[in-house]
Amino acid sequence: MKYVPYGKTGKNVSVVGFGGMRFNQDRPNEENAEIVRYACSKGINYFDTAPGYGKSEDIFGIAFQDMPGEWYCTTKAMPTSFETAEAARGAVMKSLERMRTDKIHFFHVWCLRKMEHYELAMKPGGMYEGLLACREEGLIEHIVVSSHQPGGEIRQILSSGEFEGVLLGMNIVNFPYRLDGAKAAREMGRGVVAMNPLGGGMIPRHEKELAFLAEGGETATDAAIRFAIHCPYIDVALVGFTTKRQIDQACRIAETGEPLTDEDLDRIRKHLGRNMNELCTGCNYCEGCPVSIPVASYMQAYNDKLLNPTADMAKMMDFHRNWGLLVGAEATAEACVECGQCEEACTQHLPIIDRLKELAEVEKTLGS
């Protein structure tokens, strides 16, 4: 395993990180904890989770009890859910309890999607003040931020000096949208961690359509992992592991791949058509529609249109309604009231309402 400095923290982190969002949670916690221990044995020392990832913090808590060597745990809390300093401290204490550890090495102000979220975290008596107090108590070591914002806003936030690193949703498909933020962090000496390197599973599901990204006999999935590990503006590629085989795959790519250059990034960018920057990465933050439209499922279905522009969309939607993403949907796209809630939550700022209208027209041709 290769290691790099995380910003100016003095910590050396593995270029592959363990993302705790993809456990098969139908398995016993102990089985999943064994996967975490296996990752540690392969040299991975950066372990990321969040309270909203189901049993993930509990699984890490089991694994951490007998993991040798030096490793680092990270978790998160949203300012929209923990607005006060007291509430922030409560979030820290709850995560410490679940992970059975006396210290969180990197604590994220989680899921900033617009500047108002940052301002909410920084208000007097708010979340950031609570985290500062926790740091003074030794409950956390480093305060970092998780952002889904454009590069200019990320630069603005990091320039304030409150955060020692940033977690970005950045992968081989959407990196042109995120690259400025990663570059800003690097210029300021902040750590950079890339989440969703496989686009929330979108890249493995479209190996054939994205094969143009691959080189030298690798798969598109290999190429995506290689990009995140070897991009010069990323320190840790945060991969969501479900199996030991997936860990072996990422570790192999970390050991054998070569660092990418700015020229390589320009070349990859030229491979990406206009539609590639518009793919939904499946983060699911758009869920919670007030009229019960399964927005995330519709956006994943729309990916089929972007990846297969000449395909029959009616057939695709008929498949999704009867066999795929939209089976059992409570409401169809036509029910959209254009409230804007989903677009407000979208981490990629996609035109969700317009896409729902387009899909609604397709569905009308299908009948009931």
**Per-residue pLDDT averaged across 329-340, rounded?**
94
Interval 294-331: pLDDT, tens: 998 898 889 878 877 777 899 989 988 887 778 778 89
Q: Which domain holds residue 10?
A: 3-271
Same domain (yes/no): 326, 346: yes
C-alpha distance from residue 20 to each of 44, 186, 267 (Å): 13, 25, 32
Same domain (yes/no): 56, 173: yes
> Residue 275: is its pLDDT beyond 60?
no
Same domain (yes/no): 168, 317: no
C-alpha distance from residue 314 to each of 52, 347, 358, 367 (Å): 35, 28, 11, 11
- Record the pTM: 0.81
pLDDT of residue 156: 94
Same domain (yes/no): 60, 140: yes
Please give the Cα distance from 340 to 285 (Å, whole number).
13
Decide which of 229 and 326 is more confident: 229
Domain boundary among 271, 305, 331: 271
Of the spans 153-157, 212-216, 267-271, 280-284, which averages the highest pLDDT? 153-157
Same domain (yes/no): 211, 309: no
Question: Could you give the angle at which helices 175-187 and 262-271 cross, rounded to 10 degrees?
Answer: 160
**For residue 356, how far is the Cα from the chain centroid?**
24
**Per-residue pLDDT averaged across 246-272, rounded?**
90
Residue 162, amino acid = E
pLDDT of residue 292: 94
Q: What percent of the chain has pLDDT over 70?
A: 97
| Residue 68: half-sphere exposure toward Cβ, Cα within 13 Å | 4
Please give the Cα distance from 79 to 354 (Å, whole number).
29
Same domain (yes/no): 136, 33: yes
Same domain (yes/no): 186, 55: yes
In whole numbers, what is the pLDDT of the chain averaged over residues?
Answer: 92
Same domain (yes/no): 18, 128: yes
Please give the Cα distance from 75 to 65 (Å, whole number).
17
Same domain (yes/no): 218, 107: yes
**86 token code pair:** 């007291």
The radius of gyration of the chain from alpha carbons, rounded to an integer in Å, stands at 20
Q: What is the DSSP string of 253-320?
A: HHHH-----HHHHHHHHHHS-GGGGG------TT---TT---HHHHHHHHHHHHH-TTS-HHHHHHHH
Same domain (yes/no): 291, 250: no
pLDDT of residue 230: 96
Domain boundary among 245, 271, 297: 271
Per-residue b or e along 20-55, where b marks 16 or more CB atoms closer than 10 Å to that residue's CB? bbbbeeeeebeebbbbbbbbbebbbbbbbbbbebeb
Q: Tell me how many domains the chain contains.
A: 2
Same domain (yes/no): 32, 74: yes
C-alpha distance from residue 3 to each of 11, 192, 224, 333 (Å): 10, 13, 19, 46
> Residue 108: is its pLDDT beyond 90?
yes
**CATH no. for residue 145?**
3.20.20.100
pLDDT of residue 276: 56
Please give the Cα distance from 135 to 147 (Å, whole number).
21
Please give the Cα distance from 214 to 4 (Å, whole number).
26
Decide which of 55 and 276 is more confident: 55
> Residue 271: is its pLDDT beyond 80?
no
Same domain (yes/no): 82, 32: yes
Domain boundary among 226, 246, 271: 271
Which pLDDT band, with edges at 50, 70 and 90, does 274 fall under? very low
| Residue 331: half-sphere exposure toward Cβ, Cα within 13 Å | 16
